[in-house]
Chain A
Amino acid sequence: MNFNISEEQAMIKDSVARFVTDDYSFDKRNKNVAMEAGFNPANWQTFAELGWLSIPFPEALGGFGGSVVDTMVIMEEFGKGLVAEPYVATVLLFGGLLTHSGEGELQQQLIAKIIDGSLQGSFAYLERQSRFELSDVKSSAVSKGENYLLNGEKTVVFNGSAAEKIIISARTSGGQYDENGISLFIVDADTDGLSRTDYRLMDGQRVANITLNNVAVSKSQLIGELHQGFSLIQSVVAETTRAICAEAVGIMQKLTETTVEYSKAREQFGTAIGKFQALQHRMVDMFIAGEQTRSLLYRAVCSANANSDDSEKDLLALKVMVGRAGTLIGGEAIQLHGGMGMTDELDVGHYVKRLMMINTTFGDADYNQARFSKLLTR
């Protein structure tokens, strides 16, 4: 039993932390976010050069062969720096689906391009009506000769505006809510019949709604088994959920530290406001919430690493607490900064918005608590 990271992981952690300190000041971050893609492509090349884009991919596919812990370490540091580059969308979601779908030529080729930083990808899973249900898929893929014809609409597609290739979930059989009958297709963003409407989320990332109008894809563009895409989605969403929870833990720590420091410097009534017991206890509550979330992160990471039967339950608990603790910590961080907490110029509000987006991503605290509760009656 130990909760230490390895020497190699410590090096990764230091290298990300150094990048954040040296090259990712809040000002620079805002400039990156303001760019057309919603991030800075030059940073993406830096990530490639530093090897970060290869970390989660297996060695057989040219990757670093990193574990769940490696991804956790990177994401936590990304969280502290509020890094906007689309590691989640391109590496974890898009790359994760490729990794889990086999080790064929397609996977080899595309993952090599992700690793060298030359390919931006995306996973389009959400639809207007589907809320948090990953199996609620109306978009259809109908076989026609050598091709499938894709029709429907995908919404809030992460990195959907910059992605050159998009993996799309579409129904090949079954009813709208069935887990069975969902298939995954990889599509070039400039394919005929595919149109995008770009917009931003509150955390600054650029996303897109994607309309599919008789988009013709060949059978070689099917990712994984026909009708069996859902289990692939589940695995990759679970991995990515753990990763964004690690990001959230980094953000929580940063927000708590920032708030404590502010309370030491800000004086009212002739003394630092951090001397007031009413505020001290609220900051202790923030600290406790952050540490409890970190404990659940370690729990989920350990059980995933050990392939334990508890990994589903542990992940649900983690996601619930990320939502609840995030709401508490975010709210308190703004409150304790007083009027300054309301300003866009301060980084606090931006960290809070990212926490709020993480809560919503892959199901919020209420949704996942309902799933957690179902395990009780088993």
Chain B
Amino acid sequence: MDTNFSPEDLAFRDQVRTFFQDEFTAELAARIGTPTSHRVAIVEWQKNLAKKGWIAPNWPVEHGGTGWSITQDYLFERERAAAGVPDVVPFGLKMVGQVIIAFGSDTQKQQFLPRIYNSDDWWCQGYSEPGAGSDLAALKTRAERHGDDYIVNGAKIWTTYAQYADWIFCLVRTDPTSKKQSGISFLLIDMKTPGITVNKIDSIDENHTLNEVVFDNVRVPVANRIGEENKGWTYAKVLLAHERTAIAEIAKSGHYLADLKAIAKEEISGGKALIEDTLIQQRFANIEIELMALEFTELRVLSSFAEGKGPGPESSLLKIKGTEVQQAIQQLRMDLAGYYSGVVTGELSNEQIGHAFGDRARREFMYGRAATIYGGSNEVQKNITAKAVLGL
């Protein structure tokens, strides 16, 4: 039992660290952080990562994967978070890409994978529907076969970044007579197809991430179906487990907490730094202790993967605890900002308002509410854990 890294692993870590330091500039970070330049800047960054060959570490080497060990994966992610580098937009690289690799035809692989790898196409995920949230298998969007096409009718909701998307991967019902999980197919749909409307959803975090995507007699070639008809749930399920572990964002939380410590040392109340306040100290301690545990829970999951075992019982708690810690950190950032957590900065600069992080605190806090909801709400995670782990 140890957590030692080999000299080769440490050399790898240093290489990654240097790359992020050199390539992820403050100027780029600022453009990514600004809503109007977000899409262009993040694509620029992802193309740079693709050039380096590090954009899709987990893909098979033949499709551009790195062939890294689990330890290297872990070190890469840790360095990424420490450098404040955002994760890649997951929908193409981490979601549909994985499904195409696992279940797609050769033609589909040739058509889609290189463009996903190079961030030429922006993908979004069409799973949830107005009537199918945590109970995803209740989805109703209908795809009827007409010759070589499907005609798709229905609506998808909470679709992140649909306004940017070139493509959407969708779960649709192809057999309305069969129940729930069976009768669902997995379709890849070009967002430029006539009949698709994207409606913006105004959200409490003031950013435009959420949308409704409406399908009105949208014609989709059967060739764009993944695998067999009515087997789509099987293909989608693979992603759900992955989504859960990715959502935990443990390294990022560590980075943010260190950030907040620095803030609490600088923010003054009654002539004393906030960090001197014992209640504030307890807030930090509570979060940090959970996070320290979570870091090792993640390592335990990774090492069981490295041994070729599936995720152990500890993996189901990553999503639940990971998102709880994220929200505790977001709440703490709000509280450290005091009045300024409520100030809507808008077009003004932080200098004009007189505060550096209040606006960010509120946006992160509000957006962060979603983390315990998406990817299967935490309550659904507990249902899954009760069944799959405790055998209840």
List chain A positions with a Cβ less than 8 A from chain B.
Answer: 1-5, 69, 260, 263-264, 274-275, 277, 280-281, 283-285, 287-288, 291-293, 295-296, 298-299, 301-302, 305-306, 314, 317, 320-321, 369-370, 372-373, 376-377
Q: Once the chains bind, are B300 and A3 in contact (CB under 8 Å)?
A: yes
Residues of B near A296 (CB, < 8 A) are 289, 292-293, 296
Q: Name the contact of A299 in the complex, choosing from B5, B285, B296, B303 (C-beta under 8 A).
A: B296
Q: State how many angstroms separate the Cβ of B122 from the closest Cβ of chain A.
A: 36
| Beta-carbon nearest neighbor of B1 in chain A | A69
Residues of A within 8 A of B295 (CB): 295, 299
Complex CA–CA separation, A283 to B5 (angstroms): 36
Residue of A nearest to B264 (CB): A376
Q: Mark B284-301, 1 if CB is under 8 A from A, else 0.
A: 111011101111110110
> CB-CB < 8 A to B284: which residues of A?
373, 376
Name which residue of chain B comes closest to A73, CB basis.
B1
With beta carbons under 8 angstroms apart, the residue of B1, B293, B383 that contacts A317 is B293
| Contact residues in B for A1 (Cβ distance below 8 Å) | 2-5, 71, 299, 302-303, 306
In the A-B complex, the 3 residue pairs with the smallest Cβ-Cβ separation, listed nearest first, are A295-B296, A280-B386, A373-B281
Given contact pairs A284-B389, A296-B293, A317-B288, a sample of 17 additional A-B residue pairs in the complex whose CB atoms are under 8 Å apart: A3-B300, A3-B303, A280-B382, A281-B379, A281-B383, A281-B386, A291-B313, A292-B294, A299-B296, A314-B292, A317-B289, A321-B293, A369-B285, A369-B289, A373-B278, A377-B276, A377-B281
Contacts of B71 in A (CB 8 A): 1
Which A residues are CB-close (under 8 A) to B266? none
Chain B contact residues: helix, strand, loop or mixed = helix
Indicate the member of A3, A321, A369, A370 with the most B CB atoms within 10 Å: A3
CA distance A280 to B2 in the complex (A): 34
Please name all residues of chain B whose beta carbon is closer than 8 Å to the beta carbon of A376 when the two chains form the complex: 261, 275, 281, 284-285, 288
Query: Can you name 14 A-B pairs with beta carbons within 8 Å?
Result: A2-B2, A4-B303, A5-B1, A69-B1, A274-B392, A275-B392, A277-B386, A281-B382, A291-B313, A299-B292, A299-B295, A314-B292, A317-B288, A320-B289
CB distance from B306 to the nearest CB of A (A): 8
Interface core residue of B1, B288, B296, B321 (most chain A CB under 10 Å): B1
Q: In the complex, what residues of B have CB within 8 A of residue A306's CB? A: 2-4
Q: How far is the CA of A285 from the CA of B378 in the complex (A)?
A: 12
Contacting pair A373 B285 (CB below 8 A)? yes
Residues from chain A with a CB closer than 8 A to the CB of B392 are 260, 263-264, 274-275, 280, 283
**Interface residue total, chain B, C-beta cutoff 8 A:** 43
**In the complex the two chains form, is A293's CB within 8 Å of B303's CB?**
no
Residues of the A chain whose Cβ atoms lie less than 8 Å from the Cβ of B275: 376-377
Question: Which residues from chain A contact B276 at a C-beta distance below 8 Å?
Answer: 377
Establish whether residues A372 and B289, one from each chain, have CB atoms under 8 Å apart when the complex forms. yes
- Min CB distance A337 to B, Å, is 15
CA distance A145 to B276 in the complex (A): 50
Q: Which residues of B contact A285 (CB under 8 A)?
A: 382
Q: Is the CB of A301 within 8 A of B1?
A: yes
Whether B1 contacts A3 by the Cβ 8 Å rule is yes
Contacts of B234 in A (CB 8 A): none
Report the separation of the CA atoms of residues A174 and B382 in the bound assembly, to the nearest whole angstrom: 55
Q: Which residues of A contact B281 (CB under 8 A)?
A: 373, 376-377
Which B residues touch A283, using CB under 8 A? 386, 390, 392
Task: Name A287's contact: one of B261, B296, B379, B389 (CB within 8 Å).
Answer: B389
Please name all residues of chain B whose beta carbon is closer than 8 Å to the beta carbon of A291 when the two chains form the complex. Answer: 297, 313-314, 317
Q: B385 in the interface, Cβ–Cβ < 8 Å? A: yes
A residues less than 8 Å from B321 (CB atoms):
288, 292
Which residues of B from 198 to 233 have beta carbons under 8 Å from A? none
- B320 in the interface, Cβ–Cβ < 8 Å? yes
Q: Find out whether the CB atom of A277 lies under 8 angstroms from the CB atom of B292.
A: no
CB–CB A284/B386 < 8 A: yes
Q: Is B193 an interface residue when CB atoms closer than 8 A count as contact?
A: no
Residue of A nearest to B385 (CB): A284
Shortest Cβ distance from residue B251 to the other chain A in the assembled complex, whole angstroms: 15
Cβ of B379 to closest chain A Cβ, rounded Å: 7
What residues on B are CB-neighbors of A305 within 8 Å?
1-2
Partner of A295, one of B306, B314, B382, B391: B314
Q: How many angstroms between the C-alpha atoms of A355 and B317 in the bound complex? A: 23
A179 to chain B, nearest CB (A): 23
- Residues of B near A275 (CB, < 8 A) are 392
Considering the chains assembled together, what is the distance between the CA atoms of A283 and B297 in angstroms?
Answer: 19
Judge whether B37 is part of the interface by a CB distance below 8 angstroms. Answer: no
Which residues does chain B contribute within 8 Å of A264, judged by CB atoms?
A: 391-392
B350 beta carbon closer than 8 Å to chain A: no
